[in-house]
Chain A
């Protein structure tokens, strides 16, 4: 289900400036572009880990940031599910501890749903250390999903995986999109992923959106 997504802000860090003026309706927005274009910075601004100098960030009905009205929600109050590129799984907690971190003890029903969706039932009691790449990715996803986020922020979730694994996890993401109806802001540079998941695209280069819209043919092979 599409929701309004407003990414209309300026973020300056050092000599890098990110400037967006996007107001779209979509469920899955993909950020596409070369490295250094600012894609991760967009996710971190939405997550509240970086603060724009001015502008508005709004997902659905919730304003996360509005410099004119002095709105700047703390990360902990933004209800985002952020899965960074390096996953950042907590090393001192096991799989179950990681997944449940955002919800404390968590109700049995919710955890069953997410664990079932991502097929993590067998590894719940394992330590983070021994997990495979694919398992780690799914744990990070599950952890973010458990907080019932208003928006999922995924930073190249499949890039680090081999082709076989990628083809096995993509369906999970599709299921999340379809069954949980959670809006996503998704960073990727793989056209086939994008075609499978996205209904809107923002092409970034050097901190600006050079093209954007619902038209997936915007992604021309580089």
Chain B
């Protein structure tokens, strides 16, 4: 029972962290895609959407190719004594990668629904681009942003394929999804079932909230 509580809190904590981590990047990308034209825009859109369409295992393989000690980033970090694989960092990375496309989609839609006139008039009143973004675009898009954050959070919560690849299934990195798999494979059906209920409840709550925000 203690184990289950720990796994649940750990997963929710990591998912929260991952959402907070992708929020600035996701919002920036969403704004750029909503408002700006530039060469390579389609490539950027596709890259961001990749984790959505690739099987999570494939994304996991990509991640370990980069973050493993033999990968470009992993090797560099290993020189500095930092290990990513099999740590909570890996969990956050996997969750972030999976949450980002959902956040960007929803946030972009939120920005696109902000009438450009508001931004234009704000500019005529003397507001520079940063001020317009912070005082007009962001507040008016906040429902879409929040819905996107919740969607990303839910996705992070349920993330399995990439997580188990990068973070493994160790007691210190086991997320709800990985734990359900591990418990099932080791015959601990009751524990797996309980975690399933916990997971479904949290995800249900987050999704309901997200839908309420996006609907209005």
Interface size for B (C-beta < 8 A) is 16
Question: Which A-chain residue is minimally distant from B120 (CB atoms)?
Answer: A49
In the bound complex, residues from chain A placing their C-beta under 8 Å from that of B202 are none
In the bound complex, residues from chain A placing their C-beta under 8 Å from that of B117 are 84, 86, 88
In the bound complex, residues from chain B placing their C-beta under 8 Å from that of A86 are 117
CA distance A77 to B126 in the complex (A): 6
Partner among A80, A81, A92, A101 whose Cβ is within 8 Å of the Cβ of B127: A101
In the bound complex, residues from chain A placing their C-beta under 8 Å from that of B140 are 91-92
- Binary flags per residue of A136-153, CB closer than 8 Å to B gives 1, else 0: 000000011001000000
CA distance A75 to B139 in the complex (A): 21
Tell whether, in the assembled complex, residue A102 and residue B126 are in contact, meaning their CB atoms are under 8 Å apart: yes
B44 CB-CB contact with A under 8 Å: no
Tell whether, in the assembled complex, residue B139 and residue A76 are in contact, meaning their CB atoms are under 8 Å apart: no
B125 CB-CB contact with A under 8 Å: yes
- Binary flags per residue of B125-142, CB closer than 8 Å to A gives 1, else 0: 111100000011001100
A48 CB-CB contact with B under 8 Å: yes
Interface size class of A (residues with CB under 8 A): 20 to 34
A159 CB-CB contact with B under 8 Å: no
- Binary flags per residue of A100-119, CB closer than 8 Å to B gives 1, else 0: 01110000000000000000
B121 CB-CB contact with A under 8 Å: yes
Partner among B115, B124, B135, B136 whose Cβ is within 8 Å of the Cβ of A75: B124
B123 CB-CB contact with A under 8 Å: yes
- Binary flags per residue of B81-120, CB closer than 8 Å to A gives 1, else 0: 0000000000000000000000000000000000101101
Tell whether, in the assembled complex, residue B126 and residue A82 are in contact, meaning their CB atoms are under 8 Å apart: no
- Binary flags per residue of A199-220, CB closer than 8 Å to B gives 1, else 0: 0000000000000000000000
Provide 12 A-B residue pairs closer than 8 Å at the C-beta atoms, listed in order of the A residue. A47-B124, A48-B123, A48-B124, A49-B124, A76-B123, A76-B128, A78-B124, A86-B117, A88-B115, A88-B117, A103-B126, A143-B125
Residues of A within 8 A of B (CB): 47-49, 74-82, 84, 86, 88, 90-92, 101-103, 143-144, 147
